A and B are shown apart, each in its own frame.
Chain A
Amino acid sequence: MNIVEILLNPYVQAILKIVVFVLLFVMMVGTVMTLMERKWMSAVQDRIGPNRANLPLLGGIRAHGAFHILADGLKSIFKEDTVPDGADRFMFTIAPFFAFISAIVIWALIPFAGPIGDFKFQITDLNPGLLFIFAITSLGVYGAVLGGWSSNNKFALLGAARATSQMLSYEVFLGLSLMGVFMVHGTLQVGTIVEQQNQYWFGDLIPKWGMITQPVGFVIFFTAMLAEAKRLPFDAPEGESEIIAGYFLEYSGMRYAAFMLAEYIAIVGVAALTTTLFLGGYHVPWLHADGFHLLGGHWALPQWIVTVLQIGSFATKVIVLCWFIILVRWTVPRFRFDQIMDLGWKKLLPVTIANVVVTAVVLLLWDWIG
């Protein structure tokens, strides 16, 4: 067994991919998002944002506030770990796990770049890929619910009750909006869906990104995912001004940091899922595996440059969507809880069902014509 044979072992490859993608990309971007949230929030509010944390031993270098991430992490570790009196200790402890796991595991299916031969830049490409993503997102409900119920606190209870209804309702629209995607692409495998978005209309001109083939589905999916991630305008379970902090009211220290980190990784996950399904994933328009093809012209590029461009395009799209999510949080007010339910069941549901019907009709007509 030499080093090449070890590396070619699929299990070893999977572990290496997890280390590189999850640890080096997802966790990095997630933690940087905690800082960028504060920086972009400050930009909206005409101020500078956190920029004081420095390293005194290295001459007080500030790096525009990047060390706040380190400071926050250290603070969370050293804070007292309180479990409230009368709380259900077991549930209280495992609640952050559910939130964290459901945020991270969906990254197992997100492709970062196009496949090189047999090697895929995806930790795994399950056949029922989208179904798996739904299942894992559903597990996230337990994090909020268990955290709130087990805290022995009425405000947390209110937050947990709101979280349950909201997340369960919006999962319905999540699934229905993806029905359209399923119908257009004919498969649930995430890798294949992304591949198919690299096809063009009008002979190599307009890429068949999900945003164009399923515009309504895109909007509804994005809204439903925001509601799943409990981000403003759907953050009634977190309340902030009404129920103080909602379901994670009694958490402090590293448990709180786990919830917070899970929330930010969920945001990046939302951005990544939207990119993968609707914005063409890692594709750069008109870039194929052997170079740019545009209107008959061809610009050949070596494979590694194509891969780097694809990874760059994926990262850019994810970060732009994260920026948009953060911008929405700091501009729009919060829905009242009954208004969230109203919006979902009375307005989004008919639209989603209509979307499915119209997509089906259009696809049948398309087949019948050509």
Chain B
Amino acid sequence: MRRLENLDLGAEPMVIEIGPSHPAMHGITRMLTKLDGEVIVDLDVDIGYLHRGFEKEAENSNYIQIVPYTDRLNYVSPLINNVGYSMAVEKLFGLEVPRRAEFARVIMMEISRITDHLTCLGAMAMEVGAMSVFIWFVKAREYLWELVEEVTGARLTTNWTRIGGNANDLPDGFLSMLSDRLTKVEAVIDEGDAMLLRNKIFIDRMKGVGILSKERAVSYAFTGPMLRACGVPYDVRRADPYSVYPELDFEIPVGSVGDCFDRFLVRMEEMRQSMSIIRQASEKLPAGGYLTHDRRASLPDKLDVFSSIEGLIDHFKIVMEGPKPPPGETYTAVEGGNGELGFYIVSNGTGQPVKCRVRPPCFNFVAALREMCIGHYVADIVPIFGSVNMIGGELER
């Protein structure tokens, strides 16, 4: 038994460390919280547990070697990272990507967006207590990963885009497999919808929690579903169109209040919009090549390599020194699962970039976590942090 003299019966706030290893801290984050009973008085977010030095590695690798590193940025939507990076390098070169490759990229990007949202929403549901919904969404994710594996050969480390196109064409029979899997995924999303969105307990947990006003969200440079939930209809696919998105017809779901329930709904609706985009793109898919023939950036045909000197030299140069874009810099943004995923690349004419900076969308969300959580209960950290969808790989590169 502890002696009474050693007890300190002050009434100060309790400091609790919701430490890096915690069921709700996916992506590994440490939050030092000061609690007054169950109300959060102060919150200090500590990140960096997954920093792997992407940008430093990029400085020492050539432009093609960086593509596998980009898979591991936002690892639940790897293809969006691949495409974003390749688009940036293509802009440096001034390359044109074949139309078929563009449509294939759009299909794979939207599939990745759906996997990203399924992971986020499933994790949110699980942490609020509805664990079955998580398992259902993971099952739906498995269908989509079958598709991704069919095309790229891997579920997560896709490494699919190349500079000027893709590594390979969509395989035979892919489109029928696509429509079959999409139907199954839609059925699962409908099940999750029916289970949660009219459930009073779920709504009570999510509504009014973690509200951030439009002005504060813009001042924190929010993008993506978090910003759209606050009421600002900013989507990179519409604001700064790229690839073949101008030819596709889709809506941007926008919330009104900016609480966790709005973010949940925005992501749910975005999944359905993505499925509509995929269906349109698969209908409009033209015939053609999957990789540009420009030999500054892509390997020449093997027949040329073994039969002509120029082919051999070009192949050798690209493999040994990497593609060499003209000196310059570019910032290219794509709409990632979390928001505006930007790549800023500076080239000095050699095969390795001088600087390859990634703008992680969830960096700004995590910065705003303190403001979103203060004043709420400890139990509210879970839906708020879940709705932020902090992906460690992207946040800390």
Q: Which of A320-339 contact B (CB under 8 A)?
A: 330-339
Which residues in A have their C-beta under 8 angstroms from that of B199?
332-333
User: For the complex, is B24 an interface residue (Cβ under 8 Å from A)?
Assistant: yes
Contact B139 A336 (CB under 8 A): no
Contact B129 A158 (CB under 8 A): no
Question: Could you show 21 A-B contacts with beta carbons less than 8 Å apart?
Answer: A44-B132, A45-B132, A46-B136, A47-B135, A154-B14, A235-B129, A240-B129, A241-B24, A242-B24, A243-B378, A244-B23, A330-B131, A331-B130, A332-B201, A333-B128, A334-B201, A334-B205, A336-B205, A336-B379, A338-B38, A339-B205
Give the Cβ gap from A275 to chain B, nearest Cβ, in Å: 26
In the complex, A242 Cα to B31 Cα: how many Å? 12
Give the Cβ gap from B203 to chain A, nearest Cβ, in Å: 10
In the complex, A45 Cα to B377 Cα: how many Å? 30
Which residues in B have their C-beta under 8 angstroms from that of A154?
14, 16
Q: Looking at the complex, which one of B126, B132, B382 makes contact with A331 (CB distance below 8 Å)? A: B132
Contact B136 A334 (CB under 8 A): no
User: For the complex, is A90 an interface residue (Cβ under 8 Å from B)?
Assistant: yes
Contact A339 B204 (CB under 8 A): yes
Q: Is the interface of A mostly helix, strand, loop or mixed?
A: loop
Interface flags for A30-59 (1: CB within 8 Å of B; 0: not) read 000000000001001111000000000000
Interface flags for A56-95 (1: CB within 8 Å of B; 0: not) read 0000000000000000000000000000000010100000
In the complex, A336 Cα to B38 Cα: how many Å? 11
In the complex, A244 Cα to B16 Cα: how many Å? 13
Number of A positions contacting B (CB below 8 A): 30
In the complex, A15 Cα to B142 Cα: how many Å? 55
Give the Cβ gap from A88 to chain B, nearest Cβ, in Å: 7
Contact A232 B22 (CB under 8 A): no
User: For the complex, is A233 an interface residue (Cβ under 8 Å from B)?
Assistant: yes
User: For the complex, is A236 an interface residue (Cβ under 8 Å from B)?
Assistant: yes
Contact A336 B130 (CB under 8 A): no
Q: Which of B365-379 contact A (CB under 8 A)?
A: 377-379
User: For the complex, is A155 an interface residue (Cβ under 8 Å from B)?
Assistant: yes
Contact B23 A333 (CB under 8 A): no
Most buried by B among A45, A158, A333: A333
Which residues in B have their C-beta under 8 angstroms from that of A337?
38, 377, 379
B123 to A, closest residue via Cβ: A241
Give the Cβ gap from B181 to chain A, nearest Cβ, in Å: 16
Contact A332 B130 (CB under 8 A): yes
Contact (A232, B16) CB under 8 Å given A333-B202, A334-B201: no
User: For the complex, is B248 an interface residue (Cβ under 8 Å from A)?
Assistant: no
Q: Which of B180-225 contact A (CB under 8 A)?
A: 195-196, 199, 201-202, 204-205
- A-side residues, CB < 8 A to B, are 41, 44-47, 88, 90, 154-155, 158, 232-233, 235-236, 239-244, 330-339
Contact A330 B23 (CB under 8 A): no
Give the Cβ gap from A271 to chain B, nearest Cβ, in Å: 21
Chain B contact patch, size range: 20 to 34
In the complex, A46 Cα to B22 Cα: how many Å? 27
User: For the complex, is B2 an interface residue (Cβ under 8 Å from A)?
Assistant: yes
User: For the complex, is B1 an interface residue (Cβ under 8 Å from A)?
Assistant: yes
Give the Cβ gap from B127 to chain A, nearest Cβ, in Å: 4
Contact (A338, B377) CB under 8 Å given A154-B16, A241-B23, A333-B196: yes
Query: Apart from A46-B139, A88-B2, A336-B379, what are 5 other A-B pairs with CB-CB below 8 Å?
Result: A241-B23, A241-B126, A334-B201, A336-B204, A336-B377
Contact A158 B132 (CB under 8 A): no
Which residues in A have their C-beta under 8 angstroms from that of B135?
45-47
In the complex, A336 Cα to B207 Cα: how many Å? 12
Contact A335 B378 (CB under 8 A): no
Which residues in B have their C-beta under 8 angstroms from that of A41?
131-132
Q: Which of B1-27 contact A (CB under 8 A)?
A: 1-2, 14, 16, 22-24
Contact (A241, B195) CB under 8 Å given A331-B132, A334-B201: no
Which residues in B have their C-beta under 8 angstroms from that of A339?
201, 204-205
Contact A331 B195 (CB under 8 A): yes
In the complex, A11 Cα to B23 Cα: how many Å? 50
Q: Which of B52-104 contact A (CB under 8 A)?
A: none
Q: Looking at the complex, which one of B1, B196, B201, B382 makes contact with A242 (CB distance below 8 Å)? A: B382
Give the Cβ gap from B335 to chain A, nearest Cβ, in Å: 29
The 10 closest A-B pairs by CB, nearest first: A334-B129, A45-B135, A241-B127, A333-B129, A333-B130, A333-B128, A336-B379, A241-B24, A154-B16, A333-B202
Contact B1 A88 (CB under 8 A): yes
